[in-house]
Amino acid sequence: MQGKQTPQSGKVTVGRLELRQDEVIPLLSLGNLWVKVIREKVLDRELAREEFTEGDLLSLYRKELAKEPDYLQRMGRQLEAQGVPGERVMFYLARPVLVARFKQRAFAPHVASLFLKQKQMKDSVVFSVIRHSERDVLEELLHRVLAGECTFADTAARYSEGSESVTGGMIGPVPLGRLSPHLQKILAPMQDGEMSGLFLVKETWGLVQLHRKISAVLDEKMAKELIEAQYREWLDNEMKKFIDAQGS
């Protein structure tokens, strides 16, 4: 059974359910569903260029087919009952394959160059921090640590006013790119074991010590992360183009 819209009546039929446009449109506005509709519309337009075979479907649903030989037929009937035109059923069943194939074709070739460009921000750091609202207090603590009167960890645990005091000031490992721009700027040029000078962030004075940097590696996990980042950026840009074009 195919979903259909009658322009004269402004009604949409899905299976046995018939809805008026003035009923559907307000519902799509709830939970920002229009954004999801536009996203899928934009993606469908791109996926239409991809090809798939019956073998792709058999491979994608092999677990389901092993349990239920008629699984694809049943899902096809279900999609039609939900309003998918019959000639589009196989396309939507194959959609996960098409999305994965599109990502590989469009974005995988750029992974290596993108990794080199972003590597510094992908590198992880392990560091300790002490934060205090009084500059004079933190400066005195720094002198004590440098003089060997106390360790950075003990000082952080006792005097730091941030939540890191629970861990003796220790943070990480965490990718440099996930830290605040201020911490990125401080930690990026530092060497293992180096301690920063005092710095001010939002009326709170800070002091950090870098313990070690962990170099990022372009492995399978990193490659998938970079592909997904490119995909999200592409989709956001294409959605904006689509919305702008509809409004012009």
pLDDT at 83: 81
pLDDT in tens, 192-215: 999 999 999 888 999 999 999 999
Mean pLDDT along residues 12-16: 64
Q: Look up the CATH number of the domain holding residue 198.
A: 3.10.50.40
Please state, rounded to an integer, the average pLDDT across all residues of the chain. 89
Same domain, 142 and 167: yes
Specify if 154 maps to a domain: yes
Same domain as 91, residue 15? yes
Where is average pLDDT lowest: 4-8, 146-150, 211-215, 241-245? 4-8
- 240 is a domain residue: yes
Residues 171 and 240 in one domain: no
Would residue 97 count as lying in a domain?
yes
Strand pairing partners for 124?
175, 214
Domain that holds residue 140: 124-214
2 pLDDT band, cuts 50/70/90, is very low
Residue 8 has pLDDT above 50, yes or no: no
28 within a domain of the structure (yes/no) = yes
Verify that 11 and 85 share a domain, yes or no: yes
The answer on 42 and 131 residing in a single domain is no
| Number of domains forming the structure of the chain | 2
Spatial separation of the C-alpha atoms in residues 38 and 244, rounded to whole Å: 12
Residue 119 falls inside a structural domain = no
Give percent of the chain above pLDDT 90.
73
Structure tokens at 154: 């003990």
Inside any domain, residue 220: no
| pLDDT for the residue numbered 14 | 62
Q: Give residue 12's pLDDT.
A: 65
pLDDT computed for residue 1 by the predictor: 34
- Each residue of 93-141: pLDDT tens digit? 999 999 999 999 999 999 999 999 999 999 999 999 999 999 999 999 9
Residue 200 and residue 182: Cα distance in Å, rounded?
9
Please write the tens of the pLDDT for every residue from 37-59. 888 989 999 999 899 999 999 99
Domain co-membership, 200 together with 236: no
Q: 100, 43 in Cβ contact below 8 A?
A: no
SS3 of the chain: the string is CCCEEECCCCEEEECCEEEEHHHHHHHHHHHHHHHHHHHHHHHHHHHCCCCCCHHHHHHHCHHHHHHCCCHHHHHHHHHHHCCCCHHHHHHHHCHHHHHHHHHHHHHHHHHHHHHHHHHHHHCEEEEEEEEECCHHHHHHHHHHHHCCCCCHHHHHHHHCCCHHHHHCCEEEEEEHHHCCHHHHHHHCCCCCCCECCCEEECCEEEEEEEEEEECCCCCHHHHHHHHHHHHHHHHHHHHHHHHHHHHC
Does 118 reside within a domain? Answer: no
Write out pLDDT tens, residues 19-31: 777 777 777 777 6
In this prediction, residue 33 carries a pLDDT of 79
Tokens 């921090």 sit at which residue? Answer: 129
- Are 62 and 135 found together in one domain? no
Residues 82 and 166 in one domain: no
* pLDDT value for 247: 63
Residue 223 falls inside a structural domain: no
Whether residues 144 and 190 fall in one domain: yes
- Residues 60 and 93 occupy one common structural domain: yes
Task: Mark whether 201 and 236 lie in a shared domain.
Answer: no
